[in-house]
Amino acid sequence: MIRLYQFPPAYGLSSASPFCMKVETWLRMTGLAYHPLLGDPRKAPKGKLPYIEDGDLKLGDSQLILDYLRAQYNVDPDAGLGAPQRALSMTITRMLEEHFYWVMLHGRWIDPQGWAVTREVFFGALPRPLREVVPRLVRRQLGRDLRGQGIGRHESPEIEAMGAEDMDALAVLLGSRPFLLGDQAHSVDAVAHAFLAGTLAFPVDSLIKETVASHANLVAFVERMNAHFYPTIEPVP
C-alpha cells in the first residue's frame, strides 16, 4: 500500500501543508488505497514533505508523486482533457504553487499573528530547549527563502494585496462552474482546494482570507470539494 508521509493535521484539515493536502485529495479522487503517516522532512528524499513510499520506492515532490502514480497505477483524473484545459490547469497550478504559496508562507511564518499559530502547530510538541531554538532557526531560514524568491522584499500590506489579486483571479476563472474545468473534479481542483481550504481554515484574519470569503463561488467550491473528498470536515463558517 502507498504510504503518504506528511505534516500533521491542523485547523480542522488533513494537513497543515497545501502540498500534502493536494496529494491526499488526489489519492482520494482516484480511489487509490494509501496510508497517511506523520513525516519528518529530514528523512524525505528532497528534504520536504510530502513524500511517498511505494514498495522499495521513496519519492518526494507533490507533482512528481502524482506523475509517478499516474504511470504506475494507470489512473488519471485528467484523462480526456483537451490541450486548452490542460494549459489552463497548468497556469492555475503555477499561480497557486509558485506565487500564492509564498504569500501564504509569509502570512503563516513571518507575520507575527500567523507565526504564533504556526509555531504551536509545528513545534509545540518539542521538548525544551529545542522548542526555543528550532523554531527561530526554521523561521529565519524561511525568511531568507522568501527574500530570495522576491516576495519577502515587500511590506506585509503589499504581499497581502498580491495574494488577494490571486484569489480574485481564481474566482473569475471558476465562474459559475462546480469545478475549475467543468462538472467534474480534476487534478487542478485538488491544488486549488488545498490552498483555498487552508486559507479559510487558518485561524488568523487577513485581507487574503477576507477576499476568499467574499467570493461565494470560492467558498462553495471548498464546501463542494469537502463534501466529495473530506465529508468529516466541518462546514466553512
Q: Give the model confidence (pLDDT) of 28-66 as tens digits.
A: 999 999 999 999 999 999 999 999 999 999 999 999 999
Per-residue b or e along 148-162, where b marks 16 or more CB atoms closer than 10 Å to that residue's CB: eeebbebeeeebbeb
Q: Write out the three cell numbers for 75.
A: 489512473
- Give the CA angle between residues 106, 109, 111 to the nearest 5°: 65
Report the first-to-last Cα separation within the chain, whole angstroms. 35
235 pLDDT more than 70: no
Tell the residue number behind the cell numbers 479559510, with chain if given.
200
Q: What is the mean pLDDT of residues 132-153?
A: 97
Residue 128 pLDDT grade (very low, low, confident, very high; cuts 50, 70, 90): confident
**What is the distance between the alpha carbons of residues 102 and 23, in angstroms, rounded to a whole number?**
19
Residue 232: the pLDDT is: 81
* Average pLDDT score, the chain: 96
User: What residues have CB less than 8 Å from 126, skipping those under 6 apart?
Assistant: 134
How many C-beta atoms surround the C-beta of residue 228 within 10 A? 16
Are 141 and 191 spatial neighbours (Cβ–Cβ below 8 Å)?
no
Per-residue pLDDT reduced to its tens digit, 62-82:
999 999 999 999 999 999 999
Residue 20: the pLDDT is: 97
Are 91 and 176 spatial neighbours (Cβ–Cβ below 8 Å)?
no
Residue 164: the pLDDT is: 99
Q: What is the mean pLDDT of residues 213-237?
A: 88
Alpha helices in the chain (DSSP H): 18-30, 62-73, 83-95, 101-109, 112-123, 130-149, 156-174, 187-201, 207-214, 216-229
Residue 229: the pLDDT is: 96
Handedness of CA 143, 147, 148, 154 (dihedral sign): positive
Domains defined for the chain, CATH in brackets = 2-73 (3.40.30.10), 83-229 (1.20.1050.10)
How many C-beta atoms surround the C-beta of residue 13 within 10 A? 21
Q: Could you tell me the pTM of the whole model?
A: 0.95
Residue 233 pLDDT grade (very low, low, confident, very high; cuts 50, 70, 90): low
Residue 234: the pLDDT is: 56
Per-residue pLDDT reduced to its tens digit, 161-183:
999 999 999 999 999 999 999 99
Per-residue pLDDT reduced to its tens digit, 80-108:
999 999 999 999 999 999 999 999 999 99
